[in-house]
Structure 1
């Protein structure tokens, strides 16, 4: 048996060597790809490592492909001009047939125009601006979720908690400013408004929820209670294996940054390489179907002519690319990544946890496997428990920042005599009016249920002897805008409704009395005696005895069966007193 196994192994190795030799001897054509990243940033470092692994993995799975990607990596130094310069160098001196990058939307605006001019696909997995439309820039492909897709999930959260006003706090750079128009548009659709905006310095680095794992723990702890939205990445064995290999490679690539962590951009850069490598092979096989573009008729270089025929074919195949990647389902149709799901995270302590998921079809859900269709914007708190700032589980209602320091003026009437319904007194040293009573409790409970904070103060209106006219005058103060609202035992009348609006009545009209309920009943075996007083019980017993004696005497005179021992006669007397009909 051992000898047979040895022979099998030798034959297998010989067969593998023959396959490798055939691939080596066959003509493998190079497909040059430029990579322009901000290599000094977290995203740039993570993506650089992922891209290197992606090329190795792809050709390990496809050893018989006749094309091989050759990467030309350039550092844009986080500068728009430098990024454009590097792309020009790649296009003119290296005849690249595709460019992965740039990293920022501001860089992509000019570089995508270069891609159109040279008819070279530009694929960015980080530029999210909606202005980079595939219709205007047909050679630009967004292998990431656009801002317009992300803000819809944000608006859904705002709608869920009933917040009517939102103050965006954003980084004062191209990315931060670029998302504001999309956010304004989608908030208008849910009747939420932006009273003002707050821009912070562009040196801020914690602008994306997707990078939260790469932040310093002290920075994450400072955001305790915050909510974030990031792309959902389904778990898989392939992802687990890649993650282990990525960390091993990252420690070698970036020894000075041992805390670097894999994120969604690293996964999308990996999938982007696979999409480009597949497109390069398929475009080569269909190269003969493409004709020379008329705009390039003056080109004389045979290599440039070949690239000019191959690049449109490559773009077409890229736009048709659909496969299950590490980052999820990778679909670049319509020139952008079709992201199907976002997950909502809650920062707790120095880490974060997933509290729900969002899709355009089903809105917000606690589970990722949504099976039922719902409205786009969920109107219930369909999320797991959120730990808000201050380690509270109570949903924040926002806060009011009045421009003139004026609070809601709440007029209350006293002097009607029903102190349990409404009562007020004014502190002599502060002048602050404190109110109590049923009407006040109902008003304050309604304020608590509002989805926002409402600062208010009470103002007392004293009634005169003529209560009816006093209440008319009290209500009229609202019409005169002396009070913003009136609270009290106010009857809804026709003449009053001509100049003020009333809430629905919460008590019935008419005269009633409210008394406290006091339960002092002793629950014992003699509780049945409570309905009657002792005198009535005594009278009832005497009447019972009298009735029994009278009937007994009558029966004794004419009924021989009544005669007998005394106990028997007593029993007969009791029977007659209870059951005998008169």
Structure 2
């Protein structure tokens, strides 16, 4: 400052002198004032006070800056707690306050109109960047969030993070609030609890001092090792450039999200070198001197105030100064500075974030993320964008694995295998069978289709899945509830996927088809015996036979009618003869009565066809008369319900509720059974009229009892059978993927066919399952084509000959008429008498005596 006439304003600043952020802000603001003087030769007086990390002390300092130091604008503080108090003081005194706090509430400027947010930080986009990192792994379905419970911004951070994670198919599994002055013993207890949990993906949103203590303790408990994932947020990540070697060593493998600001260009490079030199001289206790985002944003804020104060040659009042500040528009070190004057008086929110990876003695800048472009290794028009972090190159995770960590574990820290419950009261032992086996460790053996499919699924998992089976003697509903009570880690068996069970657990994909069907006994068919003679052929076959018969009869009648007087007569008589001729060919040829070779040809082919049809009809009718025809005792569920007949279902299953509430059967008419033999006995003794089984069980039942029972009626869609896991289990996605591989490899079909083949049908004999079916025109397609074509060809040939004969007949008549006329003129000329005999004779002599009009 040269003299007072060059002073254009007084600026106050509130920073935390003991923090790295405060130290960077002080140096940067002083540099801004000096740079402004060197360019404009105008002096701004800067008064900086220490907030001492106390919001109340910051408010008192603001009051002192305004009243005693005559400050016209205030820069800071860094926290929202301090900002809210300072903004109140500033608005009461009409002094603009440029806050560095992250994400001030939207209502803040309505309450304190002189508050301006000079930080471009934006929690919403930052949480989306965190969610994008989580989405990069297909196995990170649950995360644990660790946060500072003294941070008032957490009320916005958590909802935004939860929403962003849900968009990528992940949920917050656990929230861990930590007080700012938590003791090391309390921190150890909390970390031990997290270590025993299955989820190993952690999002850390802590203040710098608390985060440093947290990671130090996590390293001591071996939680910075393989399979762990640590993701940090601002403001902690934005200070990673300032951490010493000891701090960095406890954070190996951490991936962080920090605000991006451009570090290229001559202006920033000049600022960078001057900042390092000045910072090292003022704060030699620091290990690193590079400026971060807090330095550049405070530099831009100070420059904004300086430009606004320089707009007038005389001192501005508070309202005019606020207007000049909000009208600022220039390219600063942190990016474009241009306030939103219509809504909340903020800088445009940062939408580009830098992804860093702590490794070795420092950190690596992997690349960038933005909502528009996703991940990219560099910024620019030719940059390669991707939704995957693979475009950023190799990421070094905790424990230095080259593959992305699972982010969860199947076992707790004491390496105990998972406890898997198995229903021991399964009605169909082919699916789940629990037996005593003194050769096994727990004297029990577990077998069946459900067990086999589960073991095949585990073979497709890319990691070990230690487990132990435990039998459960109870209903399926109570078994699923054990998951919620944490008695079991999973359930394997013939457990139906039912909506109400989702209150306690989640299910894998159904490993077997899902439907409910009805099984009833069969009885000899008694209906429509009077029309049994029609059964050998289908209706379409009978219609086609009649049409072809009539057509062939018409062709023969048409060709033979001029040779046989009995084929003539009245129209009604000729129709009767035609029909008689058509259908009598099925039994006799009448070949000796036919006069034309064309009609004989059509009749012979049709006789062959008639012989094939009559012999086939006889054979099929005989088969139907000798084989017993069976029909279900009930085929309509409505009739079954109205008859109040008893029905059966599997004990312990959900079917009883479905039969009563959905299909409307009376509870008194519903009985439960515990084995296929019980079903068969009850159905045969007419104790029940029908049994309602899930389709997989019905297949097994009919494979064993293939005679005397049948599936009838519609099938009712239900959930099928699945394996059960706790709600939000990180294993569920991997198990589903492995289960799909079992489907696609054909292994599931092989296991199911093996299970059904092991059930030998009781009393089954060769041919017992054969049925005689009515024959359709498809069985006689070629003979019908041949006989139809033959008759048509004969008819066409006959019509051609008739046409030719008719044409010759007309020519002869014309010649006779001309001859008569000519003879009359000749006789008159010669004086001879005209006689018709002479004229006709002369005409016939001159004509072709072989002409004939008949065929």
TM-score range, shorter chain: 0.5 to 0.7
Task: Report the equivalent of 1:521.
Answer: none
Pairing 1:169–2:154 present:
no
Task: Report the equivalent of 1:335.
Answer: 345
Match 1:387 to one of 393, 396, 413: 396
Structure 1: how far apart are the matches of 2:122 and 2:510?
53
Structure 2: how far apart are the matches of 1:188 and 1:52?
44
Alpha-carbon shift at residue 458 of structure 1 (Å): 5.0
Report matched runs for 1:159-198 at 5 Å.
159-162=135-138, 163-174=140-151, 177-178=154-155, 179-198=157-176
Task: Report the equivalent of 2:68.
Answer: 93
Q: Deviations 1:196-248 (Å, cap 9, x if unpaired)?
A: 21123414154610111212212222111111111112222222222221121
* 1:174–1:114 distance in 2 versus 1, CA, 3 Å: same
SS at match of 1:314: helix
Alpha-carbon shift at residue 99 of structure 1 (Å): 0.3
Alpha-carbon shift at residue 53 of structure 1 (Å): 1.2
* 1:123–1:346 distance in 2 versus 1, CA, 3 Å: same
TM-score (norm 1): 0.64
Pairing 1:322–2:329 present:
yes
* 1:351–1:509 distance in 2 versus 1, CA, 3 Å: same
* 1:512–1:128 distance in 2 versus 1, CA, 3 Å: closer
Task: Report the equivalent of 1:120.
Answer: 95
* 1:373–1:475 distance in 2 versus 1, CA, 3 Å: same
Pairing 1:428–2:414 present:
no
Task: Report the equivalent of 2:408.
Answer: 399
SS at match of 2:66: helix
Alpha-carbon shift at residue 382 of structure 1 (Å): 4.8
Q: Deviations 1:390-442 (Å, cap 9, x if unpaired)?
A: 1113223332699999745578999989xxxxxxx998346798999995575
Structure 1: how far apart are the matches of 2:37 and 2:391?
44
Structure 2: how far apart are the matches of 1:486 and 1:39?
56
Structure 1: how far apart are the matches of 2:166 and 2:510?
37
Structure 1: how far apart are the matches of 2:260 and 2:250?
24
Alpha-carbon shift at residue 101 of structure 1 (Å): 0.5
Report matched runs for 1:6-155 at 5 Å.
27-63=5-41, 67-130=42-105, 133-144=108-119, 145-155=121-131
Structure 2: how far apart are the matches of 1:141 and 1:477?
60
Question: Does the 8 A contact of 2:28 with 2:296 survive in 1?
Answer: yes
SS at match of 1:198: strand
Structure 1: how far apart are the matches of 2:505 and 2:319?
70
Structure 1: how far apart are the matches of 2:505 and 2:371?
45
Task: Report the equivalent of 1:253.
Answer: 282
Question: Does the 8 A contact of 2:510 with 2:720 survive in 1?
Answer: no
Question: Does the 8 A contact of 1:478 with 1:484 survive in 2?
Answer: no
Report matched runs for 1:448-467 at 5 Å.
448=462, 457=468
Structure 1: how far apart are the matches of 2:336 and 2:511?
63
Task: Report the equivalent of 2:839.
Answer: none
* 1:406–1:365 distance in 2 versus 1, CA, 3 Å: same
Structure 1: how far apart are the matches of 2:52 and 2:511?
71
Question: Does the 8 A contact of 2:458 with 2:465 survive in 1?
Answer: no
* 1:24–1:76 distance in 2 versus 1, CA, 3 Å: closer
Pairing 1:269–2:298 present:
yes
Structure 2: how far apart are the matches of 1:440 and 1:219?
46
* 1:344–1:429 distance in 2 versus 1, CA, 3 Å: same
* 1:458–1:355 distance in 2 versus 1, CA, 3 Å: farther
Question: Does the 8 A contact of 2:88 with 2:112 survive in 1?
Answer: yes
Question: Does the 8 A contact of 2:254 with 2:398 survive in 1?
Answer: yes
SS at match of 2:142: coil
Query: Which region of structure 1 is more displaced relative to structure 2, 337-346 or 366-375?
Result: 366-375
Task: Report the equivalent of 2:357.
Answer: 346
Pairing 1:213–2:241 present:
yes
**Structure 1 unmatched runs, 5+:** 1-22, 288-305, 418-424, 462-473, 515-582
Structure 2: how far apart are the matches of 1:406 and 1:108?
51
Question: Does the 8 A contact of 2:384 with 2:391 survive in 1?
Answer: no
Structure 1: how far apart are the matches of 2:68 and 2:511?
86
* 1:440–1:331 distance in 2 versus 1, CA, 3 Å: same
* 1:454–1:188 distance in 2 versus 1, CA, 3 Å: farther
Pairing 1:281–2:310 present:
yes
Cα RMSD of the aligned pairs, angstroms, is 4.5
Question: Does the 8 A contact of 2:65 with 2:71 survive in 1?
Answer: yes
Structure 2: how far apart are the matches of 1:513 and 1:101?
74
Structure 2: how far apart are the matches of 1:167 and 1:31?
49
Alpha-carbon shift at residue 159 of structure 1 (Å): 3.0
Structure 1: how far apart are the matches of 2:408 and 2:439?
27
Structure 2: how far apart are the matches of 1:438 and 1:370?
54
Alpha-carbon shift at residue 60 of structure 1 (Å): 1.5
Structure 2: how far apart are the matches of 1:68 and 1:53?
12
TM-score (norm 2): 0.45
SS at match of 1:252: helix
Alpha-carbon shift at residue 171 of structure 1 (Å): 2.4
Question: Does the 8 A contact of 2:97 with 2:115 survive in 1?
Answer: yes
Structure 2: how far apart are the matches of 1:331 and 1:274?
13
Structure 2: how far apart are the matches of 1:483 and 1:427?
33
Question: Does the 8 A contact of 1:97 with 1:311 survive in 2?
Answer: yes
**Structure 2 unmatched runs, 5+:** 182-209, 213-234, 432-436, 473-491, 518-693, 696-717, 723-738, 755-855
Structure 1: how far apart are the matches of 2:100 and 2:174?
31
Task: Report the equivalent of 2:720.
Answer: 500
SS at match of 1:396: coil
Alpha-carbon shift at residue 155 of structure 1 (Å): 2.3
* 1:456–1:130 distance in 2 versus 1, CA, 3 Å: farther
Question: Does the 8 A contact of 1:210 with 1:264 survive in 2?
Answer: yes
